[in-house]
């Protein structure tokens, strides 16, 4: 898998097995009963841990869910290196669309909807989704700069945010198609031209 930089959550040093169990329990509960009924008590019971174990690492349910989504949905991005930027982006976006249209995407959609009513969740989720996407995109864009395909002055942060915003809007909000044809159009007519500005 591609190396992705994750911010360290607040709390005690990571117990990976226990954290994985809690994250899996949280995701499974959202799939089964939705965000509102996915309580700390229910997560603890399903993960086989105490509520105190969860609260030692996270302050509230919103933080648990944000962490679970980050680890579950966005840590599975495959390493993509086709040798050129255009194909890297197309393959990356196809992989992301597959995730968003599958069970993980349904969880993300449910949580994004709940975030409108939950201020704590509303603060955590955009950063979780954005950061998970941004790092993978930046790896690909930085390789393209090294190959001379795009300008070294390209705004990598902005470019890394454009695509997730467009895809999540089309899939979850407008329900417009996000197929290979659309992805190739997005890459060829929006992303690459934007990144090639000022290239010499």
**Which CATH code is given to the segment(s) 80-195?**
1.10.357.10
Phi, psi of 159 (to 5 degrees): -60, -35
Q: Nearest 5 degrees, angle CA 24-CA 27-CA 31? A: 135
Mean pLDDT of 76-91: 86
Residues 6+ apart with CB under 8 A from 21: 47, 48, 49
Q: For residue range 25-79, what is the model confidence (pLDDT) as tens digits?
A: 999 999 899 888 899 999 999 999 999 999 999 999 988 988 888 777 555 666 7
pLDDT above 90 coverage of the chain, percent: 31
Phi, psi of 178 (to 5 degrees): -125, 80
Q: For residue range 144-179, what is the model confidence (pLDDT) as tens digits?
A: 999 999 888 888 778 777 887 888 888 878 888 889
* The predicted structure's pLDDT at residue 51: 95
User: What CATH homologous superfamily does 16-72 map to?
Assistant: Homeodomain-like (1.10.10.60)
Is residue 194 within 8 A of residue 159, CB to CB? The reply is yes
Residue 195: pLDDT above 90?
no
DSSP per-residue string spanning 121-190: HHHHHHHHHHHHHHHHHHHHHHHHHHHTSS-TT--HHHHHHHHHHHHHIIIIII-----HHHHHHHIIII
Q: Of 132, 129, 108, nearest to 35 (Cα)?
A: 108
- Please compute Rg for the chain using Cα positions: 18
* The predicted structure's pLDDT at residue 11: 45
Please indicate whether residue 101 or residue 88 has the higher confidence score (pLDDT).
88
* The predicted structure's pLDDT at residue 47: 95
Identical fold for domains 16-72 and 80-195, yes or no, is no
Q: How far apart are the first and last CA of the chain?
A: 33
Per-domain residue ranges of the chain: 16-72, 80-195
Tell me which residue has tokens 């989720």. Answer: 125
Is residue 23 within 8 A of residue 67, CB to CB? The reply is yes
Average per-residue pLDDT for the chain: 81
């Amino acid at each position: 898998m591609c190396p992705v930089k994750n911010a360290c959550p607040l709390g005690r040093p990571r117990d990976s097995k226990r954290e994985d169990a809690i994250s899996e329990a949280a995701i499974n509960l959202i799939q089964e009963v939705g965000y509102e009924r996915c309580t700390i008590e229910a997560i603890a019971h399903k993960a086989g841990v105490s509520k105190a174990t969860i609260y030692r690492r996270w302050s509230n349910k919103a933080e648990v869910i944000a962490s679970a989504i980050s680890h579950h949905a966005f840590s599975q991005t495959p390493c993509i290196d086709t040798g050129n930027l255009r194909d890297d982006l197309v393959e990356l976006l196809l992989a992301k669309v597959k995730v968003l249209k599958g069970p993980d995407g349904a969880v993300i959609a449910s949580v994004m909807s709940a975030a409108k009513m939950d201020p704590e969740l509303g603060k955590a989720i955009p950063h979780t989704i954005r950061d998970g996407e941004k790092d993978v995109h930046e790896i690909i864009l930085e390789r393209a700069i090294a190959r001379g395909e795009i300008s070294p002055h390209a705004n990598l942060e902005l470019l890394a945010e454009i695509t997730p915003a467009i895809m999540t809007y089309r899939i979850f909000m407008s329900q417009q198609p996000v197929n290979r044809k659309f992805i190739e159009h997005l890459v060829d007519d929006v992303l690459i031209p934007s990144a090639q500005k000022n290239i010499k």
